[in-house]
Structure 1
């Protein structure tokens, strides 16, 4: 609708309905992101410290397997550092370059981490398949000692990320879960091999863990892909939402509802309302407030409502 009074009502209703929840959301988001950064920092430091221990242990046991895993953990440390950087960057406010803010940098971190983890898991799985036909002897007692340390360090880091919300943190957490499960497998395998000479157990356990981790990483990468493809927020029914809008007095139709998620947690929505001829400015304002009330508890940060009266052309069609 092109009338000046309506333009003013749009601005006033948007400010009145959106500012309080936006302020609360910003405060909550800032503290939440700070907690995520703290968890990622702790996980990074634990992983980096264990990488140093693992290098020393690999040289001590003369185990190429442990030295290879040390290289893998060094890569994980770099991945966690990248995830931490992008997570902190994602809290920056919107500007002229990124008008929806920097939240999607967190999803970018999840995408990069997921791809790197998939490559790493694929390589470990390939190595395990190769060793099935050519089992190699291992230093069982030395492996067992390092496995205990590995479970403690990686388990503590994974525990810090157990209540993950952002996709970035979830994928970083799976890096640590992979490492923890890998060391549990080493612990079980080395304990068995201390009693019996069955080196094939090591690649069998490694292969099973690789399949499990890869399945979960692909599942998380699918969510990341949906974010970049601008799919509607999970669980949000556009048709049902438009039906609820039509139940509001004076609203004859709701259409052209478009919604997507910025990062899997914070969402954007725009919609068009068709209202009865003769609708007053106050009624338009109240209809817009109604839209904001419906979305207030669903993490929608950017809401745009366009209004036209019945019989007017919709400029977006």
Structure 2
């Protein structure tokens, strides 16, 4: 049952990213046309930024789709980590894009440029709606890939809100400087969030213990089972931020070493770890007290 649920969540992730990709690509084309007719450099640069988004969304869609493939001889854990690869590539592109926006915005603060404020306003309303729908879809997902992709689109939503506010104000007052100031603030906000997500992705790649699970708590839970004397060499990591994996050596008392009792103990431990910590892939090695295990003191 858990496997089916996980498979559906990956399918949903792929569909969410696919929808976001087509929405973004469609809107990028509108932006280039709109930017040309409103003579707005801000919109044209945002169109270039969105073109980059479309490329990375396409890559994310591909990697997320690939991540749903089952395990085989080459990838014994399956392809789940490919979605992380998409997240890391997206993060790098977003960091470069944010730095580019900051670089573009600073000179415009000292030398602001005039544009068709009314045309900007209507484009901005459309931008908020289209990107808002895409963000809403991706915010419902669980994968890190979806979170990073939703940051791309959240940046666009915030960017368009900034353009909308600036275009309305510029229709009443001559303050073209508003646009680059807001662009700068949004770029810094996105940069902060991307770095945080990038850190999460790298920690998973480096097989860090999942944040929501503590090895001390797992050991405490293991020692609560009747017949368990000790637990050591507990290794805990996650494939993609959702599928957690655990291996452990369990030292059991002599009376447990009867086939049906060891099987019952293993099943009980696995159910308990799944219910309490969400660990789905568990490998346990049972040992007698007198056995000499080289990992015992680790």
Give the TM-score of the pair, scaled to structure 2.
Answer: 0.94
The answer for the alignment partner of 1:113 in structure 2 is 90
The answer for the alignment partner of 2:279 in structure 1 is 300
- The CA deviation string for residues 249-300 of structure 1, in whole angstroms up to 9 with x for no partner, is 2111111100100000001100011112353223222221222011223432
Residue 262 (structure 1) aligned to one of 231, 239, 244: 239
The answer for the alignment partner of 2:80 in structure 1 is 103
Q: After the TM superposition, which segments of 4 or more aligned residues of structure 1 sit over 6 Å from their partners? A: none
Q: Does 1:92 align with 2:69?
A: yes
SS of residue matched to 1:294: helix
Note the C-alpha offset of 1:55. 1.0
Pairs within 5 Å for 1:235-250: 235-250=212-227
Distance, in Å, in 1 between the alignment partners of 2:20 and 2:173 is: 36
The answer for the alignment partner of 2:5 in structure 1 is 28
Distance, in Å, in 2 between the alignment partners of 1:270 and 1:183 is: 48
Q: Which runs of 5+ in 1 are unaligned?
A: 1-23
Note the C-alpha offset of 1:229. 1.1
The answer for the alignment partner of 2:263 in structure 1 is 285
Distance, in Å, in 2 between the alignment partners of 1:150 and 1:240 is: 47
Query: What is the RMSD of the two structures over their aligned residues, measured on CA atoms?
Result: 1.4
The answer for the alignment partner of 2:35 in structure 1 is 58
Distance, in Å, in 2 between the alignment partners of 1:293 and 1:246 is: 15
The answer for the alignment partner of 2:150 in structure 1 is 173
Distance, in Å, in 2 between the alignment partners of 1:286 and 1:186 is: 63
Q: Does 1:313 align with 2:272?
A: no
Distance, in Å, in 2 between the alignment partners of 1:308 and 1:315 is: 12
Note the C-alpha offset of 1:315. 4.7
- The CA deviation string for residues 6-65 of structure 1, in whole angstroms up to 9 with x for no partner, is xxxxxxxxxxxxxxxxxx122112211221111111111111111111111122122233
SS of residue matched to 1:230: coil
Pairs within 5 Å for 1:9-28: 24-28=1-5
Distance, in Å, in 2 between the alignment partners of 1:277 and 1:147 is: 72
Please say if residues 250 and 285 of structure 2, whose CA atoms lie closer than 8 Å, have aligned partners that are also in contact: yes
Residue 122 (structure 2) aligned to one of 145, 153, 161: 145
Note the C-alpha offset of 1:222. 1.4
Aligned length: 294
If asked which structure has higher relative contact order (CA below 8 Å, sep 6+), I would say 1
Distance, in Å, in 2 between the alignment partners of 1:170 and 1:277 is: 49
SS of residue matched to 1:259: strand
Distance, in Å, in 1 between the alignment partners of 2:181 and 2:174 is: 15
Q: Which runs of 5+ in 2 are unaligned?
A: none
